[in-house]
Structure 1
Amino acid sequence: MNTTKQLLQVGVLGVSMLATSVMAAVSATEAAKLGTTLTPMGAEKAGNAAGTIPAWTPLSKTAGSVDGKGFLSDPYANEKPLFTITAQNLDQYKDKLAPGQIAMLKRYPETFKIPVYPSHRGSTVPDDVFAAIKENATTTKLVAGGNGLENFKSAIPFPIPQDGVEVIWNHITRYRGGTVTRLVTQATPQSNGSYSLVNFQDQFVFRDKMKEYDPNNPGNILFYFKQKVTAPARLAGGVLLVHETLDQVKEPRSAWVYNAGQRRVRRAPQVSYDGPGTAADGLRTSDNLDMYNGAPDRYDWKLEGKKEMYIGSDAYKLDSPSLKYADILKAGHINQDLTRYELRRVWHVVATLKPGQRHIYAKRDFYIDEDTWQAAVIDHYDGRGQLWRVAEAHAQQYYNVQVPWYTLETLYDLQSGRYLALGMKNEEKRAYDFGFTANTSEFTPAALRQEGVR
């Protein structure tokens, strides 16, 4: 591992600590580094010594144009790859690749490639979110067992993390615009490349963006998530509703589904952990959505430290509305000619299933971008200790609204040769719509029946 020397300078322990510890917030002196030597979100502000990772330079809200459907132009459209990593030359670069990326290069030696472009660190969020993050640094604590948060405000509870589970909570709670409505498409190609599409209409609302939110009595809800299947016809009308809780020790996640065929709303306890993902043909678990989501209680979390790694970044080309889904979806993996990788610093966290707990993934290796706290790569191991599935995210800065988020999530099954691609919106009538106003009444089980009318 190529651990950066600056870890100790920011007071981060690159050592193993268990999620059962209750960690205290950092001191005001440590928190003062946010916005000075650290970015306001906790990344190292400076670039690396080699000059291959630049200093943090946030993109402006006018970094490019926005078309009539909300798609963003590529601020880096004129750049060419510095080099391309293939199965033939991967030995030169393997110290900056995850085991899963190496496995993909070896499994698809003729087609899987990693085009590496100049690095940019443009991710940023609004100033009020930065202020909330700085306040969290000195006030937010883990509840016993690490499965919830106390004194949490808005996004990123631990910008200067002390252990692995704090890094994971940063991913779970990271800023995604407060509210968003999106039309996205999922595909699960067969090994020969044939596929069918599933279309979703998602709504995602953090608690502090609800009309009824009372900051003096915030309650235990972290966010509300509603997902409606709009196509194909045999699945259309099904709706999933999730109330994600902040302290999952006190109150586990609540979920309901509306079945359009039965016209019934039912509790859905299976929408958690390794329960099957919606319309995913068995290729992802519930907690694979958003790369990883949900309660962290079934794993022990070990912080290995930081390293430099090539990750999917600034994926504006992959998000282009000029592309068809057939341009993206290929046999074995997405069209890697449309991808863009950059050298970034990532946090490496290892999740190991606790004794006596159950999950189809016995171990997960997380590589989380320091600038956004988004998981960039997650390697999934089965009960035999064999690498099974490789999740890779392709991210972008939605610069017009100052939201870092994903363009596309992929989950590759090394054993079956199939994969899942989720989040494509190239052919949709509208890109992400941030900032809508919501009421809690829209996110109740009683509202699902009306939502599911075809």
Structure 2
Amino acid sequence: MFNTYRLIGAAAALALSTTTLAAVSPQDAAKLGSSLTPFGAEKAGNAAGTIPAWTGGITQPPAAYKTAGQQHPDPFADDKPLFTITKANLAQYQANLTPGQIALFKSYPDTYQMPIYPSRRSGSAPQWVYDNTLKNASSAQLLDGGNGFADAYGGIPFPIPQSGVEALWNHIARYRGSYIVRRASEVAVQRNGAFSLVTSQQEALFKFYDPKGSYADLNNVMFYYLSFAKSPARLAGGAVLVHETLDQVKEPRQAWAYSAGQRRVRRAPNLAYDTPISAADGLRTADDTDMINGSPDRYDWKLLGKKEIYIPYNNYKVSAPGVKYDDLLKVGHLNPALTRNELHRVWVVEGTLKSTARHIYSKRTLFLDEDSWQAAVVDQYDGRGELWRVSLAYLKNFYELPTTWSALDVFHDLQARRYHVQNLDSEESSTVDFSQAIPDDGYFKPAALRRRGTR
């Protein structure tokens, strides 16, 4: 294990300063699939043997997984914790924790714990995504100072990143299937542990990963997102529609809201950056969703290198069928007994708010899992430069695709002592379904939103 950031060269440590950046050389791209994994991670394990080599990850579902939309049986159910980090032994392990994780131990010294399990490099993706990633490595280019990219499709755009903004785009444009449908809940957990569910039906069409499409077909649209509120009654029938653009400076995100009471569709032009999300009770901004999303233009991004960090990984227990939300959602944080953490290498990316820009976060530090490019932890700082919020993605492999994604996203406010949780579905009859037929673009038009809302 090592305690300091591993700098990967002067070019990676500098913020992007030009309008475009050339793709990597054919020689470097050839490392993908040899010394590097198809997504650009180090294939070898670490010297201490505490991180194993990547050997392909999960390549097929376990035998207990039978149908699309089924809750996921744990392929590592027999694993036992190696040890548990607590406030009492924090000093022994804090070199491999983020400042945000350390702050959670200090905020909840009597209850916050991190069970540490054997590291399983379970990350994997379909071969066609690997093939596209290899092509992207030699063709993808940043545009408009890093606010968009071109000439990449259907894979990680920058598997061998040369800047912080490239690494950020890898998270934003990572693989999560082509079309998804799910019913899930979100909650704001108060200081005393009280919570009320907000349940919705969600659908997303990832145009960037349509197997029949291409970069030329995107028309600057990365994905469509649609959410209909199901409960509580005061919100039921309301909906949000988002057209996520690839370059949001050239063409800002388009969003519409449907009011069931008024039966009207209205533009929602402010659904971006630090706009608070009402269902999150002020604990999540628009660009906190999915750990971080949207245009990168308000920050200067630096790629600091890699570090070995204990991050949430292979978290099948938190979303196991029958897990009651009352048992999962505890005062201050999730029930530690249902969580799993492992030692993994992460890319560390730091975003500093530009002097000309406005946002409630003055700095954001991203810790991106090297095997999937999914942000596992994000530390966020207030205008005084003090650590304020900590976001945790409880990762697992959705092996029916396969892909590494989050079972739950949890957003901690250290100052308010409250937290918000997205994607709760263990009390639902099913989980996310990737198998349904891909609809055409007209399905995600504002007029269709109104028609569906009046049913």
Same fold at TM > 0.5: yes
Contact 1:212 1:439 in 2 (8 A): no
Structure 1 gaps, min length 5: none
Partner residue of 2:59? 60
User: Partners of 2:278 and 2:66 in 1: how far apart?
Assistant: 31
SS in 2 for 1:105: helix
Partner residue of 1:35? 33
Shift of 1:21: 4.9
Partner residue of 2:440? 439
SS in 2 for 1:240: strand
Contact 1:379 1:390 in 2 (8 A): yes
TM-score calculated relative to the size of structure 2: 0.95
User: Partners of 1:395 and 1:291 in 2: how far apart?
Assistant: 12
Q: 1:257 to 1:144 in 2, by over 3 A?
A: same
Shift of 1:386: 0.9
User: Partners of 1:426 and 1:396 in 2: how far apart?
Assistant: 14
Partner residue of 2:15? 17
Shift of 1:366: 0.6
SS in 1 for 2:334: coil
User: Partners of 1:292 and 1:214 in 2: how far apart?
Assistant: 25
Matches within 5 A, 1:7-406: 8=8, 13-18=11-16, 20-57=18-55, 58-66=57-65, 70-208=70-208, 213=213, 216-406=216-406
User: Partners of 1:128 and 1:210 in 2: how far apart?
Assistant: 11
Contact 1:177 1:435 in 2 (8 A): no
Deviations 1:409-451 (A, max 9, x none): 0011111111001111101121110042111111001111123
Runs of 4+ in structure 1 deviating by more than 6 angstroms, as ranges, are none
Contact 1:23 1:142 in 2 (8 A): yes
User: Partners of 2:287 and 2:226 in 1: how far apart?
Assistant: 15
SS in 2 for 1:364: strand
Q: Give the RMSD, CA atoms, in angstroms.
A: 1.8
User: Partners of 1:182 and 1:20 in 2: how far apart?
Assistant: 41
Give the number of equivalent residue pairs.
Answer: 451
User: Partners of 2:390 and 2:218 in 1: how far apart?
Assistant: 37
Contact 2:152 2:215 in 1 (8 A): no
SS in 1 for 2:189: coil
Shift of 1:213: 4.6
Shift of 1:206: 1.3
Partner residue of 1:410? 410
Bigger drift between 245-254 and 378-387 goes to 245-254
Shift of 1:216: 4.6
Q: 1:152 to 1:214 in 2, by over 3 A?
A: closer
User: Partners of 1:26 and 1:89 in 2: how far apart?
Assistant: 43
Deviations 1:166-192 (A, max 9, x none): 000000000001111111110101100
User: Partners of 1:12 and 1:21 in 2: how far apart?
Assistant: 18
Shift of 1:259: 1.1
User: Partners of 2:90 and 2:395 in 1: how far apart?
Assistant: 23
Structure 2 residue 447 is matched with structure 1 residue 449 = no
User: Partners of 1:67 and 1:277 in 2: how far apart?
Assistant: 36
Q: 1:388 to 1:20 in 2, by over 3 A?
A: farther
User: Partners of 1:327 and 1:99 in 2: how far apart?
Assistant: 27
Q: 1:73 to 1:19 in 2, by over 3 A?
A: farther
Indicate the percent of aligned positions where both proteins have the same amino acid.
51
SS in 2 for 1:400: coil
Q: 1:294 to 1:215 in 2, by over 3 A?
A: closer
The one-letter amino acid of 2:162's match is Q
Shift of 1:215: 5.7
Shift of 1:400: 2.1
The one-letter amino acid of 1:286's match is A
Q: 1:264 to 1:275 in 2, by over 3 A?
A: same
User: Partners of 1:210 and 1:316 in 2: how far apart?
Assistant: 27
Shift of 1:12: 8.7
Shift of 1:249: 2.9
Q: 1:206 to 1:334 in 2, by over 3 A?
A: same
The one-letter amino acid of 1:27's match is S
Deviations 1:289-313 (A, max 9, x none): 1011100000000111000000000
User: Partners of 2:210 and 2:118 in 1: how far apart?
Assistant: 40
Bigger drift between 59-68 and 221-230 goes to 59-68
Contact 1:390 1:412 in 2 (8 A): yes
TM-score calculated relative to the size of structure 1: 0.96
User: Partners of 2:422 and 2:228 in 1: how far apart?
Assistant: 14
Q: 1:434 to 1:421 in 2, by over 3 A?
A: same
Shift of 1:14: 4.3
User: Partners of 1:165 and 1:64 in 2: how far apart?
Assistant: 40
User: Partners of 1:449 and 1:222 in 2: how far apart?
Assistant: 23
The one-letter amino acid of 1:33's match is K
Shift of 1:89: 0.6
Bigger drift between 173-182 and 64-73 goes to 64-73
User: Partners of 2:271 and 2:5 in 1: how far apart?
Assistant: 38
Shift of 1:150: 1.0
Contact 1:189 1:331 in 2 (8 A): yes
User: Partners of 2:212 and 2:264 in 1: how far apart?
Assistant: 28
User: Partners of 1:278 and 1:435 in 2: how far apart?
Assistant: 31
Shift of 1:404: 1.3
User: Partners of 2:65 and 2:50 in 1: how far apart?
Assistant: 30
